[in-house]
Amino acid sequence: MPEHREIERKFLVRELPEKLEDFPHAEIEQGYLAIELDSVQVRMRKAGDELSLTYKRNEELSREEREITLTPEQFAVLWPGTAERRLRKTRYEVPLGELVVEIDVYHERHEGLIVAEVEFENEEEARTFQPPPWLGDDVSFDPRYSNQLLAS
């Protein structure tokens, strides 16, 4: 995959894999410092002990993504800037052949929402991907399921 590129598709989850808790997973809190829907976002994330700041610019199926690790002190200074633009979810990493399906189970006001993301090496691989039957509708371009909108 080209450096600083993210190529992914997002799906609703029709049926959770058996023994989901047995797969690697992390509790995630994320908030947004800046959101321009369909354009640019600056996201902060706490996943376990990992703290990060990510800049994303949307460009169809592929998008620019740049991420840095934050110290706890840096995170503490910036986190208040995400007030009113946050969400909580548990992310499970489920192997699917050579790929990994990241299943996000949302909490709090989005309780009951479950989506899955699959990242690809290139756009052709993303376009030709045949999801397994336990994945539902492709919502890759449906803004109602974008994390930045869910956090608003």
Instruction: Give the tens place of pLDDT for each residue, 87-126.
Output: 999 999 999 999 999 999 999 999 999 999 999 999 999 9
Q: What is the pLDDT of residue 59?
A: 62
Q: What six digits make up the tokens of 28?
A: 């995630």
Task: Name the CA dihedral angle for 152, 39, 65, 46, rounded to a multiple of 10 degrees.
Answer: -10
- The catalytic residues are 32
Average pLDDT of the segment spanning 51-79: 91
Q: Which residue has the tokens 């548990």?
A: 90
pLDDT > 70 in the chain, percent: 95
The β-bridge relationship of strands 135-138 and 5-13 is antiparallel
Q: pLDDT grade, residue 38 (50/70/90)?
A: low
Residue type, 114: I
Q: Are 141 and 37 in contact (CB under 8 A)?
A: no
User: What are 34's two structure tokens?
Assistant: 């800046």
